[in-house]
Amino acid sequence: MKKVEAIIKPFKLDGVKEALSSIGVQGLTVSEVKGLGRQKGRMELYRGAEDVVDFPPKVKLQIVVSDELVSQVVETIERVARTGR
């Protein structure tokens, strides 16, 4: 058994969940997290005032699968959660 962890954008969660289910993954744990990477945060307007979002919201997936499914799970998450950026 192996544990696979992935951090993805929240809007990709439904697609990843469906794709993992289609390859036989029976369960996963989802946590809301915040983090900073290549994005370096962004500016948002809130009630007319600029606000810097340093830690954009993300979703962390934790999946425990048999050794045989690990590469298939990783490839599926990479394919479905990829944003092109």
pLDDT at 27: 92
C-alpha 8/C-alpha 57 separation (Å) is 9
Question: What counts of helices (H) and strands (E) characterise the chain?
Answer: 2, 5
Structural domain total, the chain: 1
Predicted confidence pLDDT, tens digits, the chain (85 residues)? 999 999 999 999 999 999 999 999 999 999 999 877 666 666 666 677 766 667 778 999 999 999 999 999 999 999 999 988 7
Q: CATH number of the domain that 34 lies in?
A: 3.30.70.120
Q: Structure pTM?
A: 0.79
Contacts of 58 (CB under 8 A, 6+ apart): 7, 8, 9, 10, 32, 33, 34, 35
Which structural domain range is residue 56 located in?
2-81
pLDDT at 40: 63
